[in-house]
Structure 1
Amino acid sequence: MPAIQSRVASGDSRACWTEAPGRAAIRSETLPAPGANQVQVRALHSGVSRGTELLVFRGEVPPSEFARMRAPFQAGEFPAPVKYGYASVGVVEDGAADLLGKTVFCLHPHQTRYVVPATAVHPLPDGLPAARAVLAANMETAVNALWDAAPRLGDRIAVVGGGVVGLLVAWLAARLPGCQVELIDTHRPRARVAAQLGLRFATPDAATRDADLVVHASGQPAGLVTALGLAAFEATVLELSWYGQRAVSLPLGEAFHARRLTLRSSQVGQVASAQRSRWSHDRRMALALTLLCDPVLDALITDTAPFDELPAVLARLAAGAPDTLCQRIDYL
């Protein structure tokens, strides 16, 4: 296949940077020519993480986590200025011949064009539109969470927190034979999206008690308190939320010990221990992309905006925007 002659001149790439906590801007970037075993990608879409990425935008990454929280192609340092993000979908327009013209997912910050190692991009499977593939990092997190949680057939499963990750965890868990899955959220309009995914919805006061497994993904300490209250005797509560610098107070008196509860963390940076000897990060990502081929998951992408509006979008999301699930950024 002949090389695609669309390499842009240096300085023609643009990227979104958090210049100070709570303030972002678009900067021009010098784009190097791809070297051996590299590709140049032209972005089509990217997704904004409402969890970690907004913590970064607000400057809430604790110094102890500066090294561990680096994104694969982050530039700059915490708290700012920093270029951060990990949900980019684009077309390979130069570089490794076997990838030319392919639509790929990459754990890259929001940027119009970028050059990365060929091994860093993941071709989309047939049937997965580029516009939906921005959910790949969220799906990968949901897959890893269920590996950590290890649900059993027939389990009663409560998922507290109806953001993108929580909805994906619930959607995957509901496909396990015999499992009864309930999504719990304080935001009542989330019931509509839950229904689109075929999920039962409840507010915390109406949630079903005595769950065999509880997954917490609300990002709020109060949600974790709710999760502990829903767990049955010797159940596991899996914590997916990351709080940055915020302290979390929990009722570990009361019935926590009498019910012999297990509180366990899950984080996507490492493949779940039960799978680690056989599954690489690449294999896990390939699974996540395949699972996204179901069109019903378009319901999770509630908002779109052009790339030039991204600084304003980040400020809006950081201020609240409870009805926004996945915010997609379009580069077309």
Structure 2
Amino acid sequence: MTADIARALWLEPPRRASLRTETLPCAGADDVVVRTSYSAISRGTETLVYAGAVPESEYDRMRAPFQAGTLPGAVKHGYANVGVVERGPPGWLGRPVFCLYPHQTRYVVPRDAVVAVPPNVPAERAVLAANMETAVNALWDAGPRVGDRISVVGAGVIGSLVAGLCVDLPGVAVELVDIDSGRASVASALGAAFARPENATGGRDLVFHASASAAGLNTALSLAGPEAEIVELSWFGTQATSVALGGVFHSRRLTLKASQVGTVSPARAARWSHRRRLALALDLCADARFDVLFADDADFDSLPAIMERLADPADRTLCQRIVYANCQDPPCIT
């Protein structure tokens, strides 16, 4: 009997990572065997795991769908994987699929765990689907209205995706706010205005915060108009956050609301499943504007070094895509 071998990235907090070899389980009748083509690193979550900055209270709640290992120990973590079905039920062979799976060269999952990549979505862009799902959920939580003046504070991947989706709403004016003036080109590609915090437009109807910084959250509060809502998308991990509630928060009767992708927004939960929401996110990845979010691709074998670089706050990479075309798995075990 032959056993299939794969390699995977394991995060070993704090601030270590390695590529490990493992034997794949036998695939059942309703399973698919997927060979990975691309994956992407989520800076917000994966770098916190890598750095050992996840609060103990969140060890279980923040588990990735196919995570192996348990914090605070080593974990196989990640959730943006696009590959091709090598073996599986009829109709699935050779199909490009998205799965909320970690960085691994090949893997076995139930057929229901993968979603087919639409024909009009390039496989290399489909790695944005998990982040796009977060953006979709944020818009459901916020419920933006026709003609709203919307600010998005934090021009990372999540903030940029939110801005890109909001731009398409009728009559809205979207401003992407970031301390990095270099993100102006990202805003322009998405069709949004850009401003540094000190020049940002106030009196907004709706503000999304996605900078994962106390300064960014306080900027978001300052930009909100009377009775407006600030939707918080950042996950701060163990980082202490000081919020300036002594300023305009009470006098403007502002609302600060959390949005988190682990639960389908209550505004849609009665009719939408996680799978249906993910399929929608994949459809939205057909928009070529979002290619502006990708840095230069990196090879699978460089993942440990990539994690070290991305964990540096000075690094300005948006979405780091990983390419598997040149990686080689060890021989199968017979």
- Shorter chain as denominator, the TM-score bin is over 0.9
Are 2:210 and 1:235 equivalent residues in the alignment?
no
Give how far 1:99 is off. 1.2
Residues 1:327 and 2:313 aligned together: no
Match in the other structure for 1:224: 217
Q: Corresponding residue for 1:5?
A: none
Cα distance, 1:47–1:97 mapped onto 2, change above 3 Å: same
Contact 1:271–1:279 (CA under 8 A) maintained in structure 2? yes
Tell me, in whole angstroms, the C-alpha distance in 2 between the residues paired with 1:254 and 1:200.
26
Counterparts of 1:204-215 in structure 2 under 5 Å?
204-215=197-208
Instruction: Provide Cα deviations, 1:258-286, integer angstroms capped at 9, x if missing partner.
Output: 10000000000011001000111111111
- The question of 1:149 aligning with 2:142 is answered yes
Secondary structure in 1 matching 2:43: coil
Quote the residue 1:189 is aligned against. Answer: 182
Q: Does residue 252 of structure 1 match 2:252?
A: no
| Alpha-carbon distance in structure 2 between the residues aligned to 1:326 and 1:40 | 26
Give the aligned residue type for 1:293: A
2:308 matched to 1:315? yes
Q: CA deviation at 1:9?
A: 4.9
Give 1:253 shift. 1.2
Tell me how far apart the structure 1 counterparts of residues 315 and 168 of structure 2 sit (CA, whole Å).
27
Partner SS, residue 74 of structure 1? coil
Give per-residue Cα distances to partners, 1:26-52, cap 9 Å, x unaligned.
000111221121111000000000101
Question: Does structure 1 conserve the Cα–Cα contact (< 8 Å) formed by 2:8 and 2:76?
Answer: yes
- Cα distance in 2 for partners of 1:252, 1:9 equals 62
TM normalised by structure 2 equals 0.95
Match of 1:97 among 90, 94, 97: 90
TM-score normalised by the chain length of structure 1: 0.96
Identity of aligned residues (%): 59
Question: How much does 1:323 deviate?
Answer: 2.8
* CA root-mean-square deviation: 1.1
Deviates more, 1:8-17 or 1:279-288: 8-17
* Structural mapping, 1:1-332, within 5 Å: 9-10=2-3, 12-332=5-325
SS of the residue aligned with 1:14?
strand
Shift of 1:98: 2.4
Deviations 1:86-141 (A, max 9, x none): 00000010122221110000000000000001000000011111100110001000
Which amino acid in structure 2 is aligned with residue 257 of structure 1? H
- Cα distance in 2 between the residues matched to 1:124 and 1:72: 19
Query: Mean Cα displacement is larger for which, 191-200 or 69-78?
Result: 191-200
Within 1, Cα distance between the matches of 2:314 and 2:119?
Answer: 33
Separation in structure 1 between the aligned mates of residue 75 and residue 22 of structure 2, nearest angstrom: 13
Structure-2 separation of matches of 1:307 and 1:9: 25
Q: Residues 20, 322 of structure 1: CA spacing in aligned structure 2 closer, same or farther, 3 A cutoff?
A: closer
What do residues 308-329 of structure 1 show as CA deviations (whole Å, max 9, x unaligned)? 0000000000013543110000
Take 2:132 and 2:171, find their aligned partners in 1: how far apart are those partners?
Answer: 22
For residues 73 and 297 of structure 2, the distance between their equivalents in structure 1, rounded to whole angstroms, comes to 26
In the alignment of these two chains, the number of paired residues is 325
| C-alpha distance 321-113 of structure 1, shift in aligned 2 (>3 A) | farther
User: Residue 11 of structure 1: CA displacement?
Assistant: 5.6
Q: Which amino acid aligns with 1:329?
A: I
Structure 1 residues 63-95: Cα deviation after superposition (integer angstroms, max 9, x where no partner): 111110110100001122110000000001012
Q: Which amino acid aligns with 1:63?
A: E
Amino acid at match of 2:178: D
Distance in 2 between residues matched to 1:125 and 1:11, nearest whole Å = 28
The letter of the residue matching 1:264 is K
Cα contact 1:59–1:80 (8 A) shared by 2: no
1:242 to 1:9, Cα distance in 2 relative to 1, 3 A: farther
2: CA distance, partners of 1:80 / 1:126:
40
Segments of 5+ residues of structure 1 without an aligned counterpart are 1-7
Partner SS for 2:251: coil
Q: Aligned AA for 2:219?
A: T
4+ runs deviating over 6 angstroms: none
Return the alpha-carbon distance in structure 2 between the equivalents of residues 20 and 220 of structure 1: 22
